[in-house]
Structure 1
Amino acid sequence: MPKKLPVLFYCLFVVGAAFAQESPGLIQLQKHIAQHSGKMVDSTVTRFSNRYKKRINYLMPLYIGLQNGKRIRHFNTDKSYYDNLSDYSSFIGDYPSALYYTTKSYETLDMEAAATIKPFIDSLKQLDIQHVPAKKYILDRAAHVQVTMINEAHSKPLHRAFTISLLQDMYKLGYRYLAMEALNNTPSATADTILNVNTGFFTNEPVCAEMVRVAKEIGYTVYAYEDTLAYKHSGSVRDSIQAANIYQLIQQNPSAKILVHAGYGHISEEQIVDYVPMAMYFKKISGINPLTVNQTDMTEGSDFAYGRSFYEAYMKAFPVTVPSVAVYKNKPVDLLASSEYDISIIHPPTNYKNKRPDWYSLDGMRKELAVKPTEKSLFLVQAYYYKEYNKLEKDYLIPADQTYTSAENGYYYLYLQPGKYKIVMRDIEYKVLSEGDMEMK
C-alpha cells in the first residue's frame, strides 16, 4: 500500500493544473480544425513543420499536431509529440499552452520522491538562505572568466529574454561573441543580414530572433557553432563538434570573451550516463573552465516532473519576484542536485498583463502597443520590422512579436521596440486580411 503523502503534495498538483492550461486561442483553433477535418492539412502527415512552400506558416505545426495527433503519437512518442506542440505554441506567442504541453510530456512523479519535497524545503527554511538578483550575481562572476555558458528550455522564451537582459552589461565586461546553438551553421544562413526562415530553427521564435538583432546592434559577433551533421551523430559526437567549433574562436583570438547560449544539458560540466556534454568537452580541449548558468530547472514547469513540483513548493516557501540565485554563506545552493552547473537561476512565476507575459518587454527594452481588431475574422496579429519587410517577402521573415490572444478589452497587445512596423492581420487559416503601417514611439 503506498505511503500517505503530505497534503502539500496534493496541493502542488492542484496549483499546477490551475496555471498549466491551453489558451483560449488554442482551444478556438482546436474547434476550427475539428469542424474542418481534412481541410487544414493532409491527414497522413506525421512530422511537425512550420514550413509551407519554403515559407513560414506559424499556425501550420499546430494544424498538424492538433489534427493528426493520434497518428503522430502512434509513429513517435508522447514526449516528442508534446514537446513539439510546446515549442510551436511558444513560437506563436502562446506561453500558457507551451507550459501546458511541456508538463504533459513528463513521466508520472514517483510518490516516494514527491514525499521528500516538503521535508527538504523545511530544512532550507532553517538555514539563512539569501536570494540575490541573478543578473548582478552572474555579471559579478562573468567578469572573471573568459567563457560564460547559459542554457534555455526551447519552449520557454522567458530564458531568451533573460539572456538578452545580460547582453549590454556583458559587452561592457569585454564579451564580444555571442555563440548560439540556435543558428544554422551554414554559409548561406550566417551570411544573411536579415533574419529569415533559413537563419535557424529556434530563431523562428520572435524572442530568439530579437536576441540576434539586439546582440548585433550592441556590437557582438553572432557565431554559429552547431554541428552541421548533428542529425547523423550521437549526442556525444555532436557535443564534441560543438565544443571544437567554440574553441576555434579561442584559437583564432586567445583573448576572446564568449557568451554561449545553448539548450538544456549541453552546458553541463559533468558526464550524464554515457553522454558527454559540450561544456565538459570544451573544458577538456581548451583548458578553460566556463561559468555555467542553468535556467531550465527552477522555472515554471521546470524540466521534469519532480522539478515542477519542487519549484511550485519552493515558490510558496520563498516567493521571489525577480530572477534570483539562492546563496548560503556566499555560495550558490544546489536546490535540485544540479551540481553540473555553477549557478542555477530561480525564475519567478510569470506575471500577465493584458493576457501576455510581461517579460516580453525584455527588461523594459520594449513597450506595449495596443492593436485594434479591424477585421471581422481576425485571429492572429503580427508585427514585422518595416526595414526588414521592405527587403524580403514577409513569409520569409521573423516577426518582432505576434499573438492570437486578445485582452479583455478586445485589443491585441504586442511588445515592440521604438520604430516603424508593418502590422499584419491574419485569419485562423493564416490568410492575410490586411496590412498597415504603425510606429512605436
Structure 2
Amino acid sequence: MKKIAYLITIVLLLNACQKEKRSVEKIDFNTNYKFSSDIENEASLTKEYQQSGTDFALKGDYKNALIHWDLMGGKEKNFSQEQIDSIHSKYKIVKASDYIIEKAKDNQIVIINEAHHNSLHRVFTKTLLKDLYHNGYTNLGLETLTNNDSLNAALNNRKYPIKKTGYYSKDPQFGNLIRTALDIGYTMFAYETTGNESGKPREIDQAKNIQKVIESRPNEKFLIHCGYDHVLEGTHSYWEKAMAGRLTEYTGINPLTINQTYYAERSKPEFNRPLYKALNIEESSVLIDQEHNPLRYERGNGWADIAIFHPKTTYIDNRPNWLFNNKNKHVSVPLFDIEIDYPIMILAFKKADDIHTAIPIDITEVESKTKKSILALQKGLHTIVVTNGNQSFKFEHDVK
C-alpha cells in the first residue's frame, strides 16, 4: 500500500509539473520594498513605529502594518451595556458607499482621508470611483502624487503608476486605486506643497494648489484623497485650519468630508474605539440618527461630515479577506521549478507593464518553501517576479 501511495504521489507531482510547465528567466531586478526582517530590525533600533507601519503597508503586509502601529500604544475602553443599547436605539447602520454617493450628488468636492499605514482605506476609496464618476466627478487629487507637471502628464497618458509617481502610491493597493481611476477616465492631479513647508503653511499651500485646479475647471467635480487631519473643516488646534477648511475659505465651496481614520481597526481588538466595538459592522458603514443625519467625526471646533466604520478584517492564508473582493481571485503561485534561498518576495505586474519601474498589482513575502504564496489578482496575463534581494526570476502567469 505504501508503494502504491508513493507512486500515486509521484504521478501527481509529474502531472502538476507538466501542467505548470513554463519559461522561467533569471533577471537583474532591484526593488525598494523592504523585507520584513529589515523593517523589524530598523524598528527595533529607531522605535519609529509609524514609519515601520507604513513600510509594511507599502509591501502589502496589512497585518504587520497594524501591529507596528499599535506598538505606539493604546488603551482599552468599553461602553456599558446600557450605552450600547442606547447607541442601537439612536442610530441605524447604512451602507457607506450608497450613502456617500447619494450625498455627493449635491456637492462639487468630496474629500476623503486615509491612515498612511492602512491599505483598506485606499481600497474603499477605489470602490467609490465608478459611481462618483457617473455622478460627474472626473478629477482626482491625491496627496501622494509628486507635484511635477511632467510626471503627472506622463501618468495620465501611461495609465499606471511608477516608482516616481509618489511615495504612498508604492503600496500596490494605492497603485490599484490610481490604475482604476485612470481606466475609468479620471484626470489625476497633484496638490502637495512643492517646498518643505509643514504645519499651517503646508495646509495653505495644499488648499491653494487645489483652488487653482478648481478655478481652471469651474464646472467640474473633484474627489480628493488625503491623509489624516487634512480632511477637517472648521478650525484646527495646531494649524488654525486644515487643508479642507482652507479650501472652503479660498473657494467658498463647502466640501463633503469623510473620515476613515478615527474608527479604523487596530491589531489588538481591545484597542478599538468603544463605539466601534459596540457595533456589529458587516460592511463599510455609516451611522444615521433619527433626524437622518450621519454621525460626524468631531474634535474641538473641527469636523468631518461623515465617519466611516469598516468591518473587522479576517485573514485568508495570512492575506486580508477584502483583497479578494471586486473580481480579485485567490491565486496560488507555484514555485516548484525555482531554486532560490528564502525568504522571497513575490511581485505581480500586468503583462504590459515595465517591471523595473511600475508599481506591482500585488506583493507578498514568503518565509520558506513550506509556506503558501498567495496573490490577489484579476483575470489576465501577469508577469511574476520572485526575488530574495540577491537572485531574481520572472515568469508569466495567466489567471483564468
Q: Aligned ranges for residues 200-215 of structure 1 at < 5 Å? A: 200-215=166-181
Hey, what's the Cα distance between the residues in 2 that align with 1:201 and 1:243? Answer: 20
Cα deviation for residue 56 of structure 1 reads 3.6
1:211 aligned partner, one-letter code: L
Q: 1:289 aligns with which of 239, 243, 254?
A: 254
Aligned mates of 2:247, 2:276 — CA distance in 1 = 34
Look up the match of 1:87: 54
In 2: Cα distance, 1:292 partner to 1:129 partner = 20
Aligned counterparts, 1:29-428, within 5 A: 56-59=31-34, 65-69=39-43, 71=45, 73=46, 78=47, 81-106=48-73, 109=75, 117-118=79-80, 121-122=83-84, 124-125=86-87, 127-192=89-154, 193=158, 194-229=160-195, 232-275=196-239, 276-301=241-266, 309-311=271-273, 313-329=274-290, 330-334=292-296, 340-361=303-324, 363-374=325-336, 375-376=338-339, 377-378=341-342, 379-389=344-354, 394-405=355-366, 410-427=371-388
Q: What amino acid sits opposite 1:220 in the alignment?
A: Y
RMSD: 2.7
Alpha-carbon contact 2:296-2:303 (below 8 Å) kept: no
What is the number of residues matched between the two proteins? 362
Assess if the C-alpha contact under 8 Å between 2:39 and 2:56 holds in 1: no
SS in 2 for 1:331: coil
Partner in structure 1 of residue 6 of structure 2: none
Shift of residue 282, structure 1, vs aligned partner: 0.1
Q: Which runs of 5+ in 2 are unaligned?
A: 1-28
Which residue of structure 2 aligns with residue 434 of structure 1? 393
3-state SS of the aligned residue for 2:116? coil
When residues 115 and 355 of structure 1 are mapped into structure 2, their CA distance, relative to the original with a 3 A threshold, is closer
Give how far 1:224 is off: 0.8
Distance 1:151 1:69 in 2: 26
Which deviates more, 177-186 or 412-421? 412-421
Identity %: 30
* TM-score of the superposed pair, with normalisation by structure 1: 0.76
Kindly provide the amino acid, as one letter, of the partner of residue 157 in structure 1: S
Deviation at 1:272, TM superposition (A): 2.1
* 1:180-202 per-position Cα deviation (integer Å, ceiling 9, x unaligned): 00100013421332421111001
Shift, 1:117, TM fit: 4.0
Highest CA radius of gyration, 1 or 2? Answer: 2
Structure 1 residues 270 and 301, CA gap change in structure 2 (3 angstroms): farther
Distance 1:262 1:357, change over 3 A: same
Deviation at 1:426, TM superposition (A): 1.6
The answer as to whether partners of 2:79 and 2:278 remain within 8 angstroms in 1 is no
Q: Deviations over 1:228-256 (max 9, x none)?
A: 11xx2131111111111111122112111
**Structure 1, unpaired ranges of 5+:** 1-53
Who is 1:46 aligned against? none
TM-score, normalised to structure 2, is 0.83
